[in-house]
Structure 1
């Protein structure tokens, strides 16, 4: 279940960064880099290696997971938009895995993008645009598009659109990994208390 916590925490970070970009036009650069790197980390030694190999890299995600899945008496912490992003990413991943040709094409496009790393930084505009185009070409046509809400003026800017799509691609990567390590939607429904307890233990180990 530890691997499930790691991937679920990372998925929470994706949703949170999408909100940061759509509302403020900016995102935590270290988190952005970590999540984009998860897309190109295709042969990891273990689950944590996908996210930089350090539990501290997903600290923010662990906190978000506890806030949104825990029995928090302050309902203001619960964010329907945040939850919608998580569910939408999981739904898109389920559609993706049912289409082997799309999965193969996704792998090919990611490998092509990895080659650009010899010329560009991971968070550079050309790389982010490449990730965004992969999402638009392969993931978006799968079904109901994820409706990202935020400040209209911010969402109109191409740079922000690309960052959001690149983050959503990282979310799909994480949703695939979540399923590979045994995560299921019913896990969230029926094992929520256990997930939160373990997330709290992992968070405490960082202090």
Structure 2
């Protein structure tokens, strides 16, 4: 089992992806580099370390800051923790569904060449990842309900981007569980989590 300093990286990846979900839903625009980190992580299934999943520790700084704000009660987005809880619950159901897990992995592998050639944030890749989420994870309960500006959430391109970012969030949730993460981290290890986050932030 990995220690907390590794697990907080997966949680930072989760928070970071969901931060982009919230931003896209509200404004129709992602932070391009932060979204790149999230979507790249979807394709790094066999990365050697948690940090490598995200292309290095520096790429996780926005997510680590979001986590720090949450644990010290400084968060300014009340929807983000609820969204994170919904994704963590969704991950539990996802990993128990072998057929769906296999379908998602096949879909990711099927897009890996295009992502490598065009970039994981290319509209074609985002559209494919969004469709993959819609065909698989969106059918599980509880559904992850994303609130935002109806003007943007009515646009197919924005919806695809939101779904692709949700897929990235689930990828981080899976990694967190693989590293030994559980709800006890939130209930019993808050101080240790804050220490681990602050150490990573330097």
CA contact (8 A) 1:70 1:192 kept: no
What RMSD in Å do the two structures reach over aligned CA positions? Answer: 1.2
Deviation by residue 1:59-82 (Cα, 9 ceiling, x = unmatched):
11111101011244xxxx353210
Quote the Cα distance in structure 2 between the aligned partners of 1:34 and 1:132: 16
Quote the Cα distance in structure 2 between the aligned partners of 1:201 and 1:133: 38
TM-score after normalising by structure 1:
0.92
Correspondence for 2:40 among 37, 59, 70: 37
Deviation at 1:118, TM superposition (A): 5.3
Match in the other structure for 2:70: 68
1:3-152 map, 5 Å: 3-52=6-55, 54-72=56-74, 77-117=75-115, 119-152=117-150
Deviation at 1:193, TM superposition (A): 1.1
SS in 1 for 2:118: coil
Runs of at least 5 residues in structure 1 that lack an aligned partner in the other structure: none
CA contact (8 A) 1:70 1:193 kept: no
Quote the Cα distance in structure 1 between the aligned partners of 2:116 and 2:8: 33
The reply on whether 1:188 has 2:186 as its aligned counterpart is yes
Number of residue equivalences = 199
Runs of at least 5 residues in structure 2 that lack an aligned partner in the other structure: none
Deviation by residue 1:37-68 (Cα, 9 ceiling, x = unmatched):
1001111111111000x211011111110101
